[in-house]
């Protein structure tokens, strides 16, 4: 009986470890996507500021 419990516990541990690995993989993907979006946001903000400066220059003419 004890051996069966050990086998069951090992299966549970293996299953939980696999789920943890899957979750870590998904988290890494989302973290990479978040970093990409932050970089794109920064670039867009810079472009917006440049366009505002150009627009302000045209209005001054």
Residue with tokens 């003419």: 61
Q: End-to-end alpha-carbon separation of the chain, Å?
A: 90
Q: What is the pLDDT of residue 1?
A: 60
Q: What is the pLDDT of residue 59?
A: 80
pLDDT value of position 8: 95
pLDDT (tens digit, 9 = 90+) per residue, 6-39? 999 999 999 999 999 999 999 999 999 999 999 9
pLDDT value, residue 4: 87
Q: Which tens digit of pLDDT belongs to each residue from 32-58?
A: 999 999 999 999 999 999 999 999 988
Sign of the C-alpha dihedral computed for residues 54, 55, 56 and 61 taken in this order: positive
């Amino acid at each position: 009986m004890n051996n069966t419990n050990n086998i069951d516990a090992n299966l549970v541990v293996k299953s939980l470890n696999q789920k943890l690995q899957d979750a870590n993989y998904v988290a890494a993907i989302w973290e990479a996507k978040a970093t990409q979006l932050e970089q794109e946001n920064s670039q867009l903000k810079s472009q917006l500021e440049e366009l505002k400066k150009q627009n302000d220059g045209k209005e001054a003419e």
